Structures are given as structure tokens and as C-alpha cells.
Amino acid sequence: MKRTPGAPESSEETRAVVRERYGGIAAGKAIDPAAAADPSCCGGSSASSCCGDPAVALQLGYTPEQLGNLPPGANLGLGCGNPTAILALRPGQTVLDLGSGAGIDCFLAAKQVGARGSVIGVDMTPEMLTKARGNARKGGYRNVDFRLGEIEHLPVGDASIDVVISNCVINLAPDKGIVYREAFRVLRPGGRLAVSDVVATRPITAPERANPSLWSSCSSGALEVRHVKALLRRAGFVDVRVVLKGPDQTPDSLQGQASLGVVSADIQATKPLE
């Protein structure tokens, strides 16, 4: 099968770098000083440089009410938007979060779908899962289930999900085409995809894509809009929409990506009815 545009030569090496980085953030470890100049929110020499800052979360589209009801530690400041605000979730729905981290979007979705609904968070980093499960216990969330797994190989049954969400994670995957095909597989007919992610407004060079620090900090793994749309349609999705927020609307925590022409975007798509 043809490799996805922008995919790195070594998928396993890329995945290992991403897992190490975000495992360290979950554990509260300092990030390698060599990566201190990278452009992510949590890319400084301290893993707490701006992680969890309410001001950053407000810029990403969360409301004070949402942030005030979260368990302490659920907001690590790692997103680039608020996927739960892209479309309205309904009571009783089943929601899947790709790369759920410490659980912020899972907990917000859980409130919206209510006791009759359920939320599944999938993350490949054991440290993040430990943190998310602890947050769920602290917050008393009984309708949220966190599972270990890669978003390219979801531990979820076919046609079992109403809405797939994700927040600044798919860009980290070596092959986005596989991720979108998996999202399509698990969605019920008529199911929706609502993703906050970063996209490239110009071609990213091969050396930039080969830089593990740039890739793991949600920068050089971004694809151009035309490639995102093509991959979603190839996976089977319809009604594909990508809305760029532009540099003026990109949160301060992501302004460092400007040198690569990378900005935040809201991405939506629908699985057709059978």
C-alpha cells in the first residue's frame, strides 16, 4: 500500500520517541534540555512549563465552567483545541477519544453523554493511562473506560461508536491513513468524527519531518489540508470539513509552530449511512 504523504521512514522509532516524551510528561519528568526550544506547550526544560495553565485552556476553547468541574491533573495543556465543542454530543451516545492523555476530553464528553452514555479513551502510553484512571477515580466518572492501545490498532469493536474525538494526537501518528481507517471502522453508520489537530499551511521538508523533537512536539508531523481531506475520503468518510484557525487564532502555546507554517484546525467528517 502506498505510504501516507509525510510519513516518516521509521514508524516504530517515531512512535517510541512520542511514547517516551508523553510518558515523561505524565510522570512529571523534565524534558530533555536539547528539546527545550521546541514549540510545544510543554516543550520547555520543565514538564510543567505551561501544562495545565487555565489561561492556555481558555485559549484552546474550553470554558471556565468546564475547567472548574475537572479532576485536578486532567488538564495537561497538550491539546490544540476543544473537540467536545466542535459538535454537540447527545445523552446516551458512545464516544471514543483517540490519544486520551490524562482524560480531559473524556471527562467533558462523559458529562455530555450522561449516565446512559459511555466514553472510551485509548492511549499508547502506560503512564498516561495510570494518570487518567486515577483522575477518573478522583472525579467519580463511572461511564469512562481507559484502554491501552495504539490509535492505528484500536481496541474497540466494529461499528460500536457514535462519535470519535481527538485532540492534537493524530498528527503524531506515523501513518494518518491507518488512523482514519480505524476511526471509520469503529464508527456506526452515520457516526461522526470531530478532531482538533494541527495542519500544515505549506510543505514540510524531509529534514524537518526527520527531526524527532519537531515531530513529537506536534509540529513536523502535520499534513497539509489537501492531504488530510484526501485521506479521510479514502477511508470512506463524507462531508469532510477542515477549518483552519489561522496564526492569529492559534493559542500562544502553539505559536512556535509558526516557523513551520503549522496552525490549529477543526476537522469533521461523517461515516455514511448504510
Confidence of residue 157 (pLDDT cuts 50, 70, 90): very high
pLDDT tens-digit readout, 75-124: 988 899 999 999 999 999 999 999 999 999 999 999 999 999 999 999 99
In the chain, the number of structural domains is: 1
Q: Check if the beta carbon of residue 223 is closer than 8 Å to that of residue 176.
A: yes
Query: Does some domain include residue 6?
Result: no
- H-state helical runs in 40-140: 54-60, 64-68, 104-113, 126-139
pLDDT tens-digit readout, 203-260: 999 999 988 888 988 888 999 999 999 999 999 999 999 999 865 555 555 555 767 8
> Which carries the bigger pLDDT value, residue 11 or residue 23?
23
What does pTM read for this prediction? 0.88
Looking at residue 153, the DSSP 8-state letter turns out to be B
pLDDT tens-digit readout, 39-78: 444 433 333 334 556 778 888 889 999 999 899 889 988 8
User: How much is the pLDDT for 120?
Assistant: 98
C-alpha cell at 56: 492556555
> Which carries the bigger pLDDT value, residue 11 or residue 184?
184
Q: Diameter of the chain by CA atoms?
A: 52
CATH assignment of the domain containing 93: 3.40.50.150
Query: Does some domain include residue 225?
Result: yes
Confidence of residue 38 (pLDDT cuts 50, 70, 90): very low
Query: Does some domain include residue 127?
Result: yes
Query: Does some domain include residue 1?
Result: no
Query: Does some domain include residue 4?
Result: no
Percent of the chain scoring above 90 in pLDDT: 64
Query: Does some domain include residue 184?
Result: yes
Query: Does some domain include residue 2?
Result: no
Please spell the DSSP secondary structure of 29-60, one letter per residue.
PPPPGGGTTSSSTT-SSSTTSSTT-HHHHHHH
User: How much is the pLDDT for 46?
Assistant: 34
Checking if the pLDDT of 150 tops 60, the result is: yes
Could you count the other beta carbons within 10 Å of the beta carbon of residue 224? Answer: 18
Domain that holds residue 110: 11-270
User: How much is the pLDDT for 35?
Assistant: 44
Q: Check if the beta carbon of residue 209 is closer than 8 Å to that of residue 8.
A: yes
Query: How far is residue 65's CA from residue 255's CA, in Å, rounded to a whole number?
Result: 26
Query: Does some domain include residue 3?
Result: no
